[in-house]
A = this chain, B = another copy of it.
């Protein structure tokens, strides 16, 4: 089942979307918003699935689905917590600044509490008040949970995953060092992110969803050129069950909690840092990563951060090369 929120009010209007993303059926008679559906999932899931089946069988009125009319599936959420599950990425960050990667980073997930009060629509511009802040994209996988009790095991956490999607976790790289030096984590360096137009139930992902990981190339195009094709199922040190359980260690998580994978990042086939796509590699899911590799290789970065007018597209394709979650497509608006 694929769900989306058409732009309407603060929380959008819930619709069920066809597998090919061409059509939708209004679901607001079952639950007006995605958050309300998640609040009451056990009661509404069957009705939503029936609606999706009817839509697939052409048995009900349907409307054309236009991704530009979609808000982020949860236009605002009660929680957004982002892991750093691709430890390869973290290792490069450390290597670039000459710092050791503690061994614990391979066993204990990194996670930060993000701002969840407003997500950009998937086709919204990225508002950037100051280019010197160092704007970067980060292409990631996200899951949305139901209610998760405090102390949930990985298996309980996996069973609580209701939906899977993608995000562009926008970061202001040049504000990060100052914030991390203060010791309280990210705040101003993490402005509003955008989510994919459509979120999908794990069962509808078939073999791509296994053991709490989503497999497949995460496509990132930057200014119209292929920039990243890393496989989200590779080099993911912590699966989503582990990430959700980490988040729930000391407190319950409310339904509608969004948990992110962190920037998807693959090692090169030879084990070293990934190569650009133009050099036969799988590229990068954020600009910071190529800058770190440039720093490691030549002492300083050469690829600049995003500036006004730059575009980024993020999507993942099925076997027929159709986007599974729709396409995040944003322009920096300075």
Contacts and interface: CB of A to CB of B under 8 A. Distances in A.
Interface of A: 10, 39, 76-79, 81, 84, 105, 108, 110-118, 127, 129, 133, 150-151, 172, 175, 180, 182-192, 246-247, 249-254, 256-257
B112 A184 contact: yes
Contact of A76 (B84, B150, B254): B254
A195 to B, nearest CB: 15
Contact of A10 (B39, B113, B250, B253): B39
Smallest CB-CB A-B distances: 6 pairs: A185-B185, A78-B117, A117-B254, A79-B117, A112-B184, A191-B251
B113 A113 contact: yes
A108 to B, nearest CB: 8
A111 B187 contact: yes
Contacts of A188: 246, 249-250
Nearest to A76: B78
Nearest to A111: B187
A151 B180 contact: no
A186 B113 contact: yes
A76 B38 CA distance: 14
10 contacts: A76-B254, A79-B117, A112-B187, A113-B185, A113-B187, A116-B116, A118-B251, A129-B250, A187-B247, A192-B251
Given A110-B184, A117-B254, A188-B250, 7 more contacts: A78-B118, A113-B114, A115-B251, A118-B251, A175-B250, A188-B249, A191-B251
Identify which of A10, A81, A247 gathers the most chain B CB atoms within 10 Å of its CB: A10
Contact of A133 (B114, B127, B250): B250
A281 B141 CA distance: 52
A127 B42 CA distance: 26
Contacts of A81: 115, 187
Contact of A79 (B115, B172, B257): B115
Nearest to A81: B187
Identify which of A110, A187, A192 gathers the most chain B CB atoms within 10 Å of its CB: A187
A187 to B, nearest CB: 5
Contacts of A115: 79, 81, 113, 251
Contacts of A114: 113
Given A186-B113, A191-B250, A77 B76 contact: no
Given A151-B129, A251-B192, A186 B185 contact: yes
A256 B10 CA distance: 12
Nearest to A127: B150
A118 B112 CA distance: 17
Nearest to A36: B10
Contacts of A182: 105, 108, 110
A118 B76 CA distance: 15
Contact of A250 (B110, B189, B250, B252): B189
Nearest to A257: B117
